[in-house]
Chain A
Amino acid sequence: MAKMNMLQAINNALDLAMAKDDSVVCFGEDVGHFGGVFRATSKLQEKYGKARCFNTPLTEQGIAGFANGMAAQGMKPVAEIQFADYIFPAFDQIVNETAKFRYRSGDEFNVGGLVFRSPYGGGIAGGHYHSQSPEAYFAHTPGLKVVIPRDPYQAKGLLLASIASQDPVIFFEPKKLYRASIGEVPEEYYEIELGKAEVVQQGTDITVLAWGAQMETVQKAVEMAAKDGISCEVIDLRSILPWDADTVAQSVLKTGRLVINHEAPLTGGFAGEIAATIQKMCFLHLESPIERVCGLDTPYPLSLEKEYVADHLKTYEAIKRAINF
């Protein structure tokens, strides 16, 4: 095993996927020789040529439409949208086209194999146009898979599974962790199944659920709670769409309590969906209302980021509220 940061793990995954299958291509703004603004695609053009790893004009809807066309022809485009905040010009292509290709044609045509990679989330002093977590918009769209890894090991396995998937995937990468998160990553090819949550820590008193960069945050809160004698079960959802309700419900049936943490604003965020489903599946076992710890219903701020975010202290307080209800 090698030590890799998340960017190296993603780069390694793309490298392996391109080596394994000629139909895998990478493109996006600055993705070619430069390797993308975060260098996730560095050296790929050198290795696989300009036809398979290339810069595009600055056109998110063009990138998404082009990717749809390539995938419909049977290739596996891994298209980068430089920041998730800039995915919205491509929203029509993704929501109306990518997501519905197979359904609307009765499977005459599909875009399975298509992956949109995009850095998401805050923590880099990026203000409201370099910090958004737009997963909930896409979670409302049947036909897509939405995947968010929490560390380098997860990033590589989930990305390889996304490229291998026969359904289109939106793969949001927590950019705050690109270089900050370092871990052991096998150098060989491996996949982590999409649509499955992972119980990353067993516990008995309360379930704490998050995904992506927020997993680090909740871990800190859970450590604080442990000092108070609270035993937390921690779950990484990993896939937002489809999401693994069974694993979450199993846990809540055991603990009777649930705290959901996400970075995106509270209203209409994916925590609401989870809370509704889990209260139905676990109603008689719940010992307290399901808590949501999320961003405020404002744009992501620049100066007051620390106040805005769903941090470990807010999560810790939510855990205590649930325990003491």
Chain B
Amino acid sequence: MTNPNNATITTVHTAEFTAGDALKIPTLRILRDDGSIYDGATEPELDKDTAIKMYDTMVFIRVLDERMLAAQRQGRISFYMQCLGEEATTVGSAAALDDKDMIMAQYREQGALRYRGFTLEQFMNQLFSNEKDLGKGRQMPVHYGSKDIHYMTISSPLGTQIPQASGYAYAQKMRGLKNTTICYFGEGAASEGDFHAGLNMAAVHKAPVIFFCRNNGYAISTPANEQFVGDGIACRGVGYGMKAIRVDGADILAVYQATKMARDYALEHNEPILIEAMAYRLGAHSSSDDPSGYRSKEEEEKWRQNDPISRYRLWLIEKGWLNEADDKTTIDALRGEILDALKVAEKVAKPGIEHLISDVYKEPIPALQQQLEELKAHIRKYPEAYPITAGRLD
């Protein structure tokens, strides 16, 4: 009877099961709803510029989400995903990282993206799939990505980024880079095989990756209590042999503090670490979803009182770093800027027809070149049927 990872094995002589929820992981809370600090809690070290940048990012994405959801309803974009109620999870964590740490996101992490410096114009170009989109107009709205700011292009299949993050972080370690990878996913994605494969690979091969679970209560319409039993996602990290922490996802100071410590630990020990942020997805899963079919207005209202932005705003005002009047002006100005950028982006041309076959391989293979030539000849014959490309053939 041996366990190679644990020299001290205790034995018992009476059959006794360990319960699935025996490991109760507590939740870190630093900031109270009224903007004050919990007794016994310590504020993380945050300078004013960083604190304000975090706040501006949260406000930016809230206004962006509101505006783009409206744009989707007007039929100007085909699809949108908002992160209402979860802003503190991604902004708080991104702020605790180095700008060169890789971000591997699911699809609801526009806060981390914006914090890294993705511009309003870049958001719009992706959302409108135009020729300025870094992804060359190939993916649905919100599938952002940018090599320059170390934000891996998002993939639609759920959880696929998890084992990739393990491999990416392992490669960072092999190359001697002093950077981590943060891997975001929801509690729904933690049901996928890739979650288990990815955590185990990272643990066994000592990859400095921060797994960040946004436990937001719903996987599309499936509530968390139909998604998993036991004490949430954090204990699964412990099960795979890594350190884990649970934080209040509406408390940006707690998220920041936990991520900062996680990053230090991952780099110092070359180990993965898991953060579970308890949040609530106040918005719909996507613009194709209607939460009124599966949850009550009362429930939503209760969570609306738990707004991560209001809580953080109160703390900033209390500190004298934010002025309420200026704040209102900023939001109004933002709405205008976003609308202007939207109007510009929707008029930019779609990618040229050569991008139908570019990037499938490093160089287009002969079959693709032939297919493109045949397609061009066909479009020349019926130009009115292909208005986006007909006038732009070489």
A-side residues, CB < 8 A to B, are 25, 51-52, 54, 56-57, 59, 61-75, 77, 89, 92-93, 96-97, 100-110, 112, 142-143, 145, 166-167, 195, 242, 245-246
Q: Which of B75-83, B191-199, B257-265, B286-294 contacts A (4 or more CB under 8 A)?
A: B191-199
Q: Which residue of chain B has its CB nearest to the CB of A67?
A: B167
The interface residues of chain A lying within 8 Å CB-to-CB of B197 are 57, 59, 61-62, 65
Known: A62-B201, A69-B170, A70-B167. A105 touches B361 (CB 8 A): no
**How many residue pairs, one in A and one in B, have C-beta atoms under 8 Å apart?**
158
Task: Determine the interface band of chain B, counting residues with CB < 8 A from chain A.
Answer: 35 or more
Q: Which residue of chain A has its CB nearest to the CB of B102?
A: A73
Per CB-CB distance, the 4 closest pairs between chain A and chain B, nearest first, are A65-B163, A69-B167, A62-B197, A105-B153
Q: A106 near B138 (CB under 8 angstroms)?
A: yes
Q: Write 8 A-B pairs (CB below 8 A) sorted by A numbering.
A: A56-B204, A68-B167, A72-B152, A75-B174, A97-B164, A101-B153, A104-B135, A105-B147
The interface residues of chain B lying within 8 Å CB-to-CB of A52 are 174
Q: Is B200 an interface residue (CB 8 A)?
A: yes
Q: A73 near B175 (CB under 8 angstroms)?
A: yes
Q: B201 near A74 (CB under 8 angstroms)?
A: no
Chain B 342-385 interface mask (CB, 8 Å, partner A; 1/0): 00000000000000001111100111100000000000000000
The interface residues of chain A lying within 8 Å CB-to-CB of B172 are 73
Q: A242 near B168 (CB under 8 angstroms)?
A: no
Q: Which of B18-26, B64-72, B154-162, B301-309 contacts A (4 or more CB under 8 A)?
A: B154-162
Q: B139 near A66 (CB under 8 angstroms)?
A: no
Given contact pairs A61-B163, A66-B201, A74-B175, a sample of 11 additional A-B residue pairs in the complex whose CB atoms are under 8 Å apart: A25-B174, A61-B197, A64-B163, A65-B167, A69-B166, A69-B169, A73-B171, A92-B157, A105-B134, A105-B147, A105-B153
The interface residues of chain B lying within 8 Å CB-to-CB of A63 are 201
Q: Is B182 an interface residue (CB 8 A)?
A: no
B102 to chain A, nearest CB (A): 8
Known: A96-B160, A105-B145, A242-B367. A59 touches B135 (CB 8 A): no
Q: Is B143 an interface residue (CB 8 A)?
A: yes
Q: Which residue of chain A has its CB nearest to the CB of B133?
A: A106
Q: Is B205 an interface residue (CB 8 A)?
A: yes
Q: Is B136 an interface residue (CB 8 A)?
A: yes
The interface residues of chain A lying within 8 Å CB-to-CB of B168 are 69-70, 72-73
Q: Which residue of chain A has its CB nearest to the CB of B370?
A: A245
Q: Which residue of chain A has its CB nearest to the CB of B351?
A: A106
Chain B 26-45 interface mask (CB, 8 Å, partner A; 1/0): 00000000000000000000
B352 to chain A, nearest CB (A): 13
Q: Is B221 an interface residue (CB 8 A)?
A: no
The interface centre, meaning the residue of A74, A105, A108, A110 with most chain B CB atoms within 10 A of its CB, is A105
In the complex, which of the residues A65, A108, A245 contacts B147, with contact meaning CB atoms closer than 8 Å?
Answer: A108
Chain B 3-21 interface mask (CB, 8 Å, partner A; 1/0): 0000000000000000000
Complex Cα distance A67/B167, Å? Answer: 6
Complex Cα distance A267/B258, Å? Answer: 55
The interface residues of chain A lying within 8 Å CB-to-CB of B198 are 62, 65-66
Q: A73 near B167 (CB under 8 angstroms)?
A: yes
Q: Which residue of chain B has its CB nearest to the CB of A93?
A: B160
A121 to chain B, nearest CB (A): 25
The interface residues of chain B lying within 8 Å CB-to-CB of A106 are 133-136, 138, 153, 359
The interface residues of chain A lying within 8 Å CB-to-CB of B196 are 59
Q: Which residue of chain B has its CB nearest to the CB of A72?
A: B168
Q: B359 near A65 (CB under 8 angstroms)?
A: no
In the complex, which of the residues B162, B205, B367 contacts A65, with contact meaning CB atoms closer than 8 Å?
Answer: B162
Complex Cα distance A66/B138, Å? Answer: 24
The interface residues of chain B lying within 8 Å CB-to-CB of A246 are 366
The interface residues of chain B lying within 8 Å CB-to-CB of A145 are 361
B80 to chain A, nearest CB (A): 19
